[in-house]
A and B are shown apart, each in its own frame.
Chain A
Amino acid sequence: MNLHEYQGKELFGKYNLPVSKGIVIDDPENALKACRDIGGSKWVVKAQVHAGGRGKSGGVVLVENPDDAREFAKKWLGKRLVTYQTDSNGQLVNSILIEECTDIASELYLSAVIDRASKKIVFIGSSEGGVNIEEVAKNTPDKIIYESIDPLTGAQPFQARKIAKVLGLDSQQTKQFTPMLLNLMKLFVEKDLALLEINPLVITSGGKLHCLDAKINIDSNAIYRQPEIEEMHDSSQEDPRESEAAKNDLSYVSLDGNIGCMVNGAGLAMGTMDTIKFYGGNPANFLDVGGTATQERVAKAFKLILADPEVKVVLVNIFGGIVRCDLIAEGILAAIEEVGVEIPVVVRLEGNNAEIGSQILLESGVKIESKNDLAEAAKKAVELSK
């Protein structure tokens, strides 16, 4: 689960990390008051979306007049911001962060992520902050430090000093940085983060370290024990069909083809999409109905798939596993009747009692193409989609 920048900075504030004074607005008319309350004569206005690359797309602007802050809010609130990190639909802007302006002497990069390879939390730091950090990592790897944290001992001050060297901090800044790093680690562990990124971490003209951005992603498996974080969830940043699916414990991603797919298991769902492509078709979605494909779940899955007007045929691929295929077949029939499916449905059942299941589908009188073989089923679905 992702957080907005302003939510991330709220958390930073609670962990004594230096962030700018800022106010979040969701109504342009509050812009003037926000600027006045913050004070000063220059402000940074930032569209809040779950994606990076906002600056390059006009989603972050420096204003010297509160009226311009209001105009910025008018322009963006309710609109979608497209950046190179979003898809082509972009992300809905429903809040704007107004912040005091920081005078920047230099921009650094700092992030922490769970590294699958080393099985540790790894801090990544570089003296070269900004949007080109991936190029820096690729072309000048010596400018980047990767510092792994032992999960049992936690982060130590010497590790902060090591990172500070690569960031090019002087001794005063290193003294400021050391507790910052330990607090970031504390935040990472206490709030079950999966990713934390400060880009840029800046040195101000006064020589102090300051967090100008905050990107935070929380491990979705751990949300159950993070009630404070759960309340920060903003479903407007997700595809509506995907969040509807998530509510029903279905995993769904919409794609641009015309063959609706319903599969049990994420791996097999991806494999089924690949097989459709292999035979020249185009999947309309990824949909994992989960390990136990009950009638209720199958019905919900059909509704989701059929909500996409592009879908011309549905391919159901269920590997029965422990669940008996005859029960799944009955579930599919009941779901088709309940939802009123009018386009062709190709069903491939495999696993326990697969033959009985196919027999049930065959004898039902419902227009279903039943195949035991995945290749046959995929070919048939592709043929019907043309």
Chain B
Amino acid sequence: MSILINNDTRVLVQGFTGSQATLHSEQAIEYGTNIVGGVTPGKGGQIHLDRPVFDTVKEAVEKVNPNAALIFVPAPFCKDSILEAAESGIKLIICITEGVPTLDMLVVKKRVDELGITLIGPNCPGIITPGKGKMGIMPASIHMPGSIGIISRSGTLTYEAVKQTTDLGLGQSSCVGIGGDPIPGSSFIDILKMFEDDSQTEAIVMVGEIGGSAEEEAGEYIKNNVTKPVISYIAGQTAPAGKRMGHAGAIIAGGKGTASDKIKSLKDSGVHIAENLVDIGSKVAEVLGR
């Protein structure tokens, strides 16, 4: 088992012919991911990386039957692309692009929730199930099939956690970068739920950072719903408080958001904390008694 992506995942790449999409699609194909085609409006009928290109997601759905979409289109077009995939019946959408306007995401998030779609990102490294497939920009080489589920808001921090669990021989069941934007498609809680239900996953690493209250909410969820051990690292323990503009931010945050708030709330929920970034892997090994 694994979560989100496995041998049955048929991937459609939106913005397929762009340079980033091409680079990462090549690497995904090399890794064994089943990319069935792509969409670039205006380039329908072409063949790219030996796969068909379509003008619309609808055509792609009819011809090559994808069940997941991987989006690389520029930020101004992400709202359109995500909604196009969603309205075409694709149930798993990964959006890598960074810089998507927050108000676009408010509308997108509301609509994908109504349609029961899993959206990961934007502004994320994507997802990988080691040995089976990847949809994203992460380096495949640091991964290894295994039993640790990894969730993170940050790209390179995810790689750090992955590398450490690989070096200790633990490996990963699946890794999910949910992205660092204010309105992510999926939250820590959405992914925690999936790892809790996944038989391959023995323990979960949750890498958080300062800002927002996603970690605190995850802590509350873990306390009541997650039986597997959760190990967490929170980045930004030494980040200075920023300049402020008015009071609204502080009122809505209600005393949440700093690293120490998050660590305290996670500890209270029974989450194991790696105090130092370099100790994520060893903390997992310690908790699992390896």
Does residue B42 face the partner (Cβ distance < 8 Å to A)? no
Q: Is the CB of A321 within 8 A of B159?
A: yes
In the complex, residue of chain A having the shortest beta-carbon distance to the beta carbon of B208: A267
A87 to B241, CA, bound (A): 9
- 1/0 per position for A40-61, CB-CB distance to B under 8 A? 0000000000111000000000
Q: Which residues of B contact A270 (CB under 8 A)?
A: 209-210, 235-236, 238-239
Q: Is the CB of A225 within 8 A of B101?
A: yes
Interface residues of B in 97-116 (CB under 8 A from A): 99-104, 106-107, 109-111
Does residue A66 face the partner (Cβ distance < 8 Å to B)? no
Q: Is the CB of B110 within 8 A of A266?
A: no
Looking at the assembled complex, report how far the CB atom of A30 sits from the nearest CB atom of chain B, in whole angstroms.
Answer: 27
A15-23, A191-199, A306-314 - the one binding chain B: A191-199
Q: Which residues of A contact B209 (CB under 8 A)?
A: 266-267, 270
- 1/0 per position for B45-80, CB-CB distance to A under 8 A? 000000000000000000000000000000110000
Q: Which of A253, A321, A374 contacts B139 (CB 8 A)?
A: A321
Q: Which residues of B contact A222 (CB under 8 A)?
A: 101-104
Q: Which residues of B contact A116 (CB under 8 A)?
A: 182-183, 212-214
Interface residues of A in 318-346 (CB under 8 A from B): 319-322
Q: Which residues of A contact B246 (CB under 8 A)?
A: 52, 85, 111, 195, 197, 199, 215
Q: Is the CB of B245 within 8 A of A217?
A: yes
Does residue B199 face the partner (Cβ distance < 8 Å to A)? no
Instruction: Report which A residues bind B (CB closer than 8 A).
Output: 2, 50-52, 85-87, 109, 111-117, 119-122, 124, 133-134, 137-138, 144, 150-152, 189, 192, 194-197, 199, 215, 217, 219, 221-222, 224-225, 253, 255, 263-268, 270-278, 283, 286, 291, 319-322, 350-352, 373-375, 378
Q: Which residues of B contact A374 (CB under 8 A)?
A: 160, 277-278
- 1/0 per position for B81-106, CB-CB distance to A under 8 A? 00000000000000000011111101
Q: Is the CB of B138 within 8 A of A268?
A: no
Q: Which residues of A contact B75 (CB under 8 A)?
A: 221, 224
B3-11, B30-38, B149-157, B221-229 - the one binding chain A: B149-157
Q: How many residue pairs, one in A and one in B, have C-beta atoms under 8 Å apart? A: 194
Looking at the assembled complex, report how far the CB atom of A255 sits from the nearest CB atom of chain B, in whole angstroms.
Answer: 6
Q: Is the CB of A221 within 8 A of B236?
A: no
A7 to B94, CA, bound (A): 38
Number of interface residues of B (CB under 8 A): 63
Shortest beta-carbon contacts, A-B, top 9: A267-B154, A265-B156, A222-B101, A267-B157, A268-B156, A111-B248, A151-B106, A270-B235, A197-B246
Q: Which residues of A contact B110 (CB under 8 A)?
A: 119, 150-152
Looking at the assembled complex, report how far the CB atom of A215 sits from the nearest CB atom of chain B, in whole angstroms.
Answer: 4
Known: A278-B275, A321-B137. A137 touches B233 (CB 8 A): no
A60 to B103, CA, bound (A): 33
Q: Is the CB of B163 within 8 A of A350?
A: yes
Q: Which residues of A contact B76 (CB under 8 A)?
A: 224-225
A273 to B209, CA, bound (A): 13
Looking at the assembled complex, report how far the CB atom of B122 sits from the nearest CB atom of chain A, in whole angstroms.
Answer: 10
Q: Is the CB of A271 within 8 A of B249?
A: no
In the complex, residue of chain B having the shortest beta-carbon distance to the beta carbon of A224: B76
Q: Which residues of B contact A150 (CB under 8 A)?
A: 110
Q: Which residues of B contact A115 (CB under 8 A)?
A: 252
Does residue B250 face the partner (Cβ distance < 8 Å to A)? yes
Q: Is the CB of A321 within 8 A of B238?
A: no
Q: Which residues of A contact B24 (CB under 8 A)?
A: 322
Q: Which of B183, B210, B255 contacts A114 (CB 8 A)?
A: B183
Q: Is the CB of B217 within 8 A of A117?
A: yes
Q: Which of B106, B159, B210, B278 contacts A375 (CB 8 A)?
A: B278
Q: Which residues of A contact B103 (CB under 8 A)?
A: 114, 151, 189, 192, 219, 222
Given contacts A195-B249, A321-B139, A350-B159, 17 further A-B contacts (CB under 8 A): A50-B245, A85-B245, A114-B103, A114-B183, A116-B212, A137-B251, A189-B103, A192-B103, A265-B155, A267-B154, A267-B180, A267-B207, A274-B237, A277-B237, A278-B275, A283-B238, A321-B159
Does residue B27 face the partner (Cβ distance < 8 Å to A)? yes
Does residue B290 face the partner (Cβ distance < 8 Å to A)? no
Interface residues of B in 249-268 (CB under 8 A from A): 249-252, 254-255
Known: A222-B102, A275-B277, A351-B142. A124 touches B251 (CB 8 A): yes
**Would you mind naming 18 contact pairs between A and B with Cβ atoms under 8 Å apart?**
A50-B245, A51-B244, A111-B246, A111-B251, A116-B212, A137-B254, A151-B107, A219-B101, A219-B102, A222-B103, A267-B155, A271-B233, A272-B277, A277-B237, A321-B155, A322-B24, A350-B159, A351-B163
Q: Is the CB of B213 within 8 A of A117?
A: yes
User: Considering residues A120, A121, A278, which has the most beta carbons from chain B within 10 angstroms of its beta carbon?
Assistant: A278
In the complex, residue of chain B having the shortest beta-carbon distance to the beta carbon of A112: B248
Interface residues of B in 189-248 (CB under 8 A from A): 207, 209-210, 212-214, 217, 233, 235-240, 243-248
In the complex, residue of chain B having the shortest beta-carbon distance to the beta carbon of A274: B237
Looking at the assembled complex, report how far the CB atom of B186 sits from the nearest CB atom of chain A, in whole angstroms.
Answer: 12
A179 to B248, CA, bound (A): 22
User: Considering residues B76, B235, B255, which has the most beta carbons from chain A within 10 angstroms of its beta carbon?
Assistant: B235
Q: Is the CB of B252 within 8 A of A122?
A: yes
Q: Which residues of B contact A137 (CB under 8 A)?
A: 251, 254
